[in-house]
Chains A and B, each alone.
Chain A
Amino acid sequence: MPPRIDQTKCVLCGICQDVCPGDILHIDQGVQNMVRYPDECSHCDVCRVECPNGAIEIVFPWSMRQQPITITVRGSA
């Protein structure tokens, strides 16, 4: 669930649902059920940027994240 809403900060002002380009966020059932269509989120970051209370953070699901490695490049150009 990419946008994570902080219940202690969200005042259900509705700005995030208005700016969300995918109609993903719905405030009519409270914070718990706000991210109504999580698998249609495109990670555009607009809800987080526009939230006046800093109540939204974006959390990439485990399956999207990379696992870092180090590589020694063979020589240089």
Chain B
Amino acid sequence: MSVIESDVLIVGGGIAGCVAATQAARAGASVVIVDKVRSIRRSGDAGRGLAFLTTYLDLGEEWDTPEAFAKWYCDIALGLVNMSVAWPLAIEPLPKVLALLDEAGVPLRTPDGAYERVGRMWTPGPIVLKFDGENIKPLLTDQALGSPGVRFVGGVHVTSVLRDAAGRAAGATGFDVRSCEFVTFRAGATIIATGNAERVIFNSPRRDPFNTYHRPYHGATGFALAARAGASAQNIEFLGTFLFPRGFATGAMGNLLEAGGRLINGNGDLIANLPDVPGERAFGHGIVAKAAAEARAGRGPIYIDCTHLPASVLQDINSYISYDAPLFREFLEQSGIDLARHPVEFELFNGAWSATGSPKGVVVDGTGQTIVPGLFAAGDLATPAYALAGSLTSGYVAGIEAARFAREHGPAPLDADVVAAERKRTLEPLNRAQGIGWREFERELQDLMTKYVGMDRNAIGLAQAATYLSAFRDVEAQVKASNGHELMRAHEAFDLRLFDEMMTAAATERDETRFSFLMGHHRTDKPDPDDETWTGVAVEVTHDGERPVCRRVVPTPSWREQRLALGTGRTGRFDSDAGGLAASAEPTKVVRLTTPARKGA
């Protein structure tokens, strides 16, 4: 058995994985980064670039302090985030990761030395740093791989986290996605940083599972690896809801709306004009809810219209959108859309991905460690971590702490029998001449999840989904693969099924309806929030190998008490005027205009 050894093993070489590697190496550890991609230069969700980093700078304004940031952070997560974990993992380290970015050569300031800061739809002040992040990933990759003691193993898809007899993480196994060679890793500590969940439900036009906002290729593997090792996840019943351009799932909504774009329905009515509507800025979820309400009322299609904006504003969008929303500009060009003349059609999609403020993820403590000793999670996979800032900070902390754990505990022994069993399980689909293709299997999963565990759910549908998912476990034994690529997709599908079971169980457990910024859980059989039971209460779920196991936890009890004392959980229904969704004291209003519309040419 050939074994790749290191103090710290990092599964996934995105932003969090790279920062974790750099920090673990600086703490004196030998590090192996393993990724299914053959080069991590531009791997992960930030591979093409990013233009915004949400962070306080503490430059004197009251909205600009770590404390104000923490309050906002907990509020947008509906109190479903453990603030004693979020503080050391996602908030306190922000200045340190800014220094790390500086050191890597990421230009955080404008050429004249100033910070350019903007407010986004959901922020309390201009805490979003706009920067030239086109090359943030190559720079952080170079920083990591240039650190002494860091090695990269590419083209390997990881299928299990190994544990020793005492239950401590001991390494991982995987296979080469081209040669199918089985690979074993042994490490003192293991960090999973494979991103949040994608490809769980159809979330794009034409039901194309690979047309997603975040990279689709990690599927739900990180959750499955963690759950099979004994770790748990929280808040995965919530779906992200977002507007994507019809035809292409890319992050265009925020960019166009922030620039002054306005939301139009199929009657030509202005639904929302973001900068001018009081209350709209309360987390921005009013916008998505309004678009949803129009679509549900049959007043689609929905457009974002920028035709009224001055040329200079449109030009400014073009300056950063090429990497903040890769290919959106080309998409418009190839569609013949000129923002100065044409509105862009948008559609509402639900995904399982994490977004700003999302508390979805694998449960970790303030050091990034799961309940499995020696097993850490970082980046979008971990809760609490949000977007770029959370990936940077959680990677930073987990890297240091994993190195410390490895140093204190030394390498863990590998059990040859366990490795042999995992090898058999991993390569089994290659031995099947007859059977089901991964695509067919995954499509059935996505179809049933979309139907029963999509935005509209109820107890009966969820129970139905659970029975299908349970039965599909036996079907896994019929899935075949004829090469490494297909074997990778087959394992991604197996991991999706495990995640689906956990997500379905969590959605069943939360017998109420609850929404926050970009994340929602709508039970048609329990259409109202049950604040008494659920305000600030999270569903934690793991999998015992046979079935998912849920429990209810209160991540930040003081937030729950405070909100109950206020008499509202700030939750709402996904319906017409979105009044319940806005956390602002000012009621949100729907702007309906009566001037007759001229038919579009």
Contact = CB atoms under 8 A, between A and B. Distances in A.
B47 A44 contact: yes
Given A73-B305, A77-B277, A19 B41 contact: yes
A20 B335 CA distance: 25
Given A44-B48, A65-B331, 6 more contacts: A37-B485, A49-B48, A68-B342, A74-B268, A74-B596, A76-B270
Interface of A: 15, 17-23, 36-37, 39-46, 49-50, 58-60, 63-77
B202 to A, nearest CB: 14
A19 B247 contact: no
Contact of A73 (B38, B268, B277, B335): B268
Contacts of A60: 247-248, 330-331, 334-335
A70 B267 CA distance: 13
A59 B524 CA distance: 41
Contacts of A77: 262, 270, 272-273, 276-277, 591
Contacts of A76: 270, 273, 308
Residue among B205, B215, B217, B596 with the highest chain A CB neighbour number at 10 A: B217
3 cross-chain pairs, A with B, having the tightest CB-CB distances, nearest first:
A77-B273, A75-B593, A18-B39
Given A66-B247, A69-B342, A76-B273, A19 B305 contact: no
A44 B217 CA distance: 11
Contacts of B154: 18
A43 to B, nearest CB: 5
Contacts of B341: 68, 70
20 contacts: A19-B37, A21-B44, A21-B217, A23-B36, A42-B210, A45-B326, A45-B327, A60-B331, A66-B344, A68-B336, A68-B337, A69-B601, A70-B342, A71-B268, A73-B262, A73-B268, A74-B593, A74-B597, A75-B595, A77-B273
Nearest to A50: B42
Contact of A21 (B47, B250, B601): B47
Interface string B258-281: 000010100111101100110000
Interface in B336-350: 336-338, 341-345
Contact of B305 (A23, A36, A65, A71): A71
Nearest to B342: A68
B485 A71 contact: no
B533 interface: no
A56 to B, nearest CB: 12
A41 B305 CA distance: 29
B334 A65 contact: yes
B537 to A, nearest CB: 35
Contacts of B246: 66
A50 B276 CA distance: 41
Interface of B: 36-39, 41-44, 47-48, 154, 177-178, 205-206, 208, 210-212, 215-217, 245-248, 250, 262, 264, 267-270, 272-273, 276-277, 303, 305, 307-308, 326-327, 330-331, 334-338, 341-345, 485, 488-489, 591, 593-598, 600-601
Contacts of B594: 74-75
Nearest to B267: A74
A70 B272 CA distance: 18
Contacts of B47: 19, 21, 44, 46
A63 B335 CA distance: 10
B48 A72 contact: no
A71 B262 CA distance: 12
A9 B428 CA distance: 41
Given A19-B37, A74-B597, A77-B591, A46 B270 contact: no
Residue among A40, A64, A73 with the highest chain B CB neighbour number at 10 A: A73
Residue among A69, A72, A74 with the highest chain B CB neighbour number at 10 A: A74
A74 B273 CA distance: 12
A72 B208 contact: no
A66 B337 contact: yes
A63 B211 CA distance: 13
B269 A74 contact: yes
A75 B66 CA distance: 42
Nearest to A37: B485
Contacts of A68: 335-338, 341-342
A41 B249 CA distance: 12
A31 to B, nearest CB: 19
B558 to A, nearest CB: 39
A45 B215 contact: no
A70 B262 contact: no
A71 B600 contact: yes
Contacts of B36: 23
Given A68-B342, A72-B598, A73-B262, A18 B334 contact: no
B343 A71 contact: yes
Given A20-B37, A43-B327, A75 B43 contact: no
Contacts of B212: 42
Contact of A59 (B269, B334, B489, B593): B334
